[in-house]
């Protein structure tokens, strides 16, 4: 490797392994590695990782300078390359598709906000109630189940039905349950392979993951989807758009697997952590129960269907703060942009840095989320961190006395900001509301504190290292 640092370029950190560079040190503990390298070289440096050059920007006040560089820094090429390799769909950046794909992309924002969002959230609430009603244990008996299993079982099915609709005809509820069980298992098998797929292993070498992905695609063939009712506008409009693009049927189905993954892979662990921290922290649990009780005060019993207005959902600031805090503690995504050209990037300090064409710029939001100058005792869960003195949403955070705009980035920012973020927050709020309303829930005393599994760092919300035991039974209605 002949790359040498040129004048005006960031410090180059290559390590001693020829191709891998500093990959091993980075992969072992990304946050620790980045902090140690920052100590040595300051707020910007370029690391060689698996044959690629990644320039890390460490100073949160410089994040906006990167995010605003739409012209020189491209998000879609990198994301599409990865998505195409993992999901096996067409290359939508190719000239054959790129124009119509722009329209497909705009469907996200059109169908995940405003009135569509209201509708989607109400459908999710209905589906959560259906799933929970089916499994309600009898009042007096305690049940035990892993908290992760519990969350996956409820959220996967309700989320799936909300996007992809329900099967036509009257099916036995056990048959529906079994179908979902299989889809959930396929989803988890496929998702487990993500770290090695992200590291570059071709999916053809991960036979189990490939089979699981194809099994999911079979369920999402247009022929199958046509037999379902109450399909979301998001999926319906994607189906129509793909039909006009003359893709083959399997190719269309694989884009729906991609959408299924985007809608579930982060939401499931985020829902887990939100409930986990609520149950572990008595003050959080009490405050959440009080808020849910207040919202559902007119509901008489568990058989009364619940519906919530947007205003009611938005007024649940305690649950929102709990979820934000859970996201802060468990999110480890990486935001990557590719330099289209040689250009000069000016950081917050005013210093220009020369960036080479083809290099990657990487932002690692966990540096912000775990920064003790922004969040005191950053490892600690504080349910009210995102509440102000009035109990409203807190949005003022600062570092070294200077106000900071980007203080919480689990959904990314700029061109790659998650279009499903409002729906995701609503889904988790609804999940917490209903399980706290229907059930009396406790973590079993035998559980030790469980930590996020950082082998998935870079891929979004980290799952727990292991499951924890939950004890629950149907609640009396006197919350």
Nearer Cβ to ligand HEM (320/474): 320
85 is in an annotated binding site: yes
Q: Does 262 bind ligand HEM (CB under 6 A)?
A: yes
Maximum distance among all Cα pairs of the chain, rounded to whole angstroms: 73
Phi-psi map region of 327: left, alpha, beta (phi>0 left; psi -120 to 50 alpha): alpha
Chain length of the chain? 479
Q: Which of 77, 109, 97, 112 is nearest to 241 (CA)?
A: 97
Our measurement of the distance from residue 325's CA atom to the centroid of its chain's CA atoms, rounded to an integer in Å, reads 14
Q: Which stretch binds ligand HEM (CB under 6 A): 59-67, 178-186, 261-269, 338-346?
A: 261-269
User: Which residue's CB comes closest to ligand HEM?
Assistant: 420
153 is in an annotated binding site: no
Kindly compute the dihedral angle of the four CA atoms of residues 228, 234, 240, 246, in this order, to the nearest 10 degrees.
-110
Q: Does 124 bind ligand HEM (CB under 6 A)?
A: no
Q: Does 189 bind ligand HEM (CB under 6 A)?
A: no
Q: Which stretch binds ligand HEM (CB under 6 A): 59-67, 169-177, 383-391, 415-423?
A: 415-423
In this chain, which of 266, 317, 321, 330 binds ligand HEM, going by CB under 6 A? 266
In this chain, which of 419, 452, 458, 463 binds ligand HEM, going by CB under 6 A? 419
Q: Does 31 bind ligand HEM (CB under 6 A)?
A: no
Nearer Cβ to ligand HEM (203/262): 262
Q: Rounded to whole angstroms, how far apart are CA atoms 126 and 307? A: 8
Pairing of strands 143-146, 469-474: antiparallel
Q: Rounded to whole angstroms, how far apart are CA atoms 107 and 199? A: 30
In this chain, which of 121, 122, 189, 267 binds ligand HEM, going by CB under 6 A? 267
Nearer Cβ to ligand HEM (355/418): 418
Our CA angle for 279, 284, 286, nearest 5°, is: 90
Q: Which of 380, 377, 376 is nearest to 397 (CA)?
A: 376
In the bound complex, what is the minimum distance in angstroms from residue 400's beta carbon to ligand HEM? Answer: 26
Q: Does 111 bind ligand HEM (CB under 6 A)?
A: no
Q: Does 460 bind ligand HEM (CB under 6 A)?
A: yes
Q: Does 412 bind ligand HEM (CB under 6 A)?
A: yes
Q: Does 79 bind ligand HEM (CB under 6 A)?
A: yes
Q: Rounded to whole angstroms, how far apart are CA atoms 171 and 177? A: 10
Q: Is residue 451 within 8 Å of 379, Cβ to Cβ?
A: no
Q: Which two tokens stand for residue 338?
A: 């590719």
Q: Does 317 bind ligand HEM (CB under 6 A)?
A: no
Q: Does 458 bind ligand HEM (CB under 6 A)?
A: no
418 is in an annotated binding site: yes
Binding interface with ligand HEM (CB under 6 A): 79, 108, 262-263, 266-267, 270, 333, 335, 410-412, 416, 418-420, 423-424, 460-461
Task: Extract the annotated binding site for heme.
Answer: 418
Task: Extract the annotated binding site for substrate.
Answer: 85, 266
């Amino acid at each position: 490797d002949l790359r040498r640092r040129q004048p005006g370029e960031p410090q180059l950190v290559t390590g001693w392994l020829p191709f891998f560079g500093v990959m091993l040190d980075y992969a072992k503990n990304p946050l620790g590695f980045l902090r140690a390298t920052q100590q040595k070289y300051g707020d910007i440096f370029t690391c060689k990782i698996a044959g690629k050059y990644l320039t890390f920007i460490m100073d949160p006040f410089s994040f906006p300078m990167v995010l605003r560089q739409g012209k020189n820094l491209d998000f879609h090429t990198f994301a599409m390359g990865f998505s195409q390799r993992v999901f096996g769909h067409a290359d939508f950046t190719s000239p054959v598709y790129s124009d119509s794909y722009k329209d497909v992309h705009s469907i996200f924002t059109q169908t995940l906000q405003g009135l569509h969002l209201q509708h989607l959230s109400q459908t999710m609430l209905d589906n959560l109630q259906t799933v929970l009603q089916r499994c309600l244990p009898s009042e007096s008996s305690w049940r035990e189940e892993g908290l992760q299993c519990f969350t996956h079982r409820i959220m996967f099915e309700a989320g799936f039905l909300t996007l992809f609709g329900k099967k036509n005809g009257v099916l036995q509820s056990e048959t529906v349950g079994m179908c979902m069980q299989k889809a959930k298992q396929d989803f988890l098998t496929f998702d487990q392979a993500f770290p090695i797929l992200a590291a570059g292993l071709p999916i053809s070498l991960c036979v189990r993951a490939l089979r699981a992905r194809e099994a999911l695609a079979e369920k999402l063939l247009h022929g199958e989807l046509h037999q379902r009712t109450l399909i979301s506008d998001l999926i319906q409009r994607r189906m129509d758009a793909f039909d006009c693009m003359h893709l083959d049927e399997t190719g269309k189905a694989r884009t729906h697997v991609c959408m299924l993954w985007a809608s579930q892979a982060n939401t499931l662990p985020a829902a887990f952590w939100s409930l986990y921290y609520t149950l572990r922290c008595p003050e959080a649990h009490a405050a959440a129960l009080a808020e849910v009780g207040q919202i559902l005060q007119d509901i008489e019993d568990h058989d009364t269907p619940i519906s919530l207005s947007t205003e009611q959902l938005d007024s649940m600031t305690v649950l929102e703060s709990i979820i934000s805090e859970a996201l802060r503690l468990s999110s480890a995504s990486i935001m990557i942009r590719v330099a289209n050209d040689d250009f000069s990037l000016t950081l917050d300090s005013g210093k220009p840095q020369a960036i080479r064409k083809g290099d990657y710029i990487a932002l690692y939001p966990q540096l912000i989320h775990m920064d003790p100058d922004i969040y005191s005792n950053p490892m600690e869960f504080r349910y009210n961190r995102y509440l102000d003195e009035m109990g409203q949403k807190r949005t003022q955070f600062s570092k070294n006395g200077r106000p900071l705009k980007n203080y919480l980035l689990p959904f990314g920012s700029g061109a790659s900001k998650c279009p499903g973020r409002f729906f995701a927050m609503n889904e988790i709020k609804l999940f917490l509301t209903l399980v706290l309303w229907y059930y009396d829930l406790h973590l079993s005393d035998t559980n030790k504190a469980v930590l996020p599994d950082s082998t998935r760092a870079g891929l979004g919300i980290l799952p727990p290292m292991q499951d924890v035991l939950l004890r629950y039974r149907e609640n009396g209605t006197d919350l």
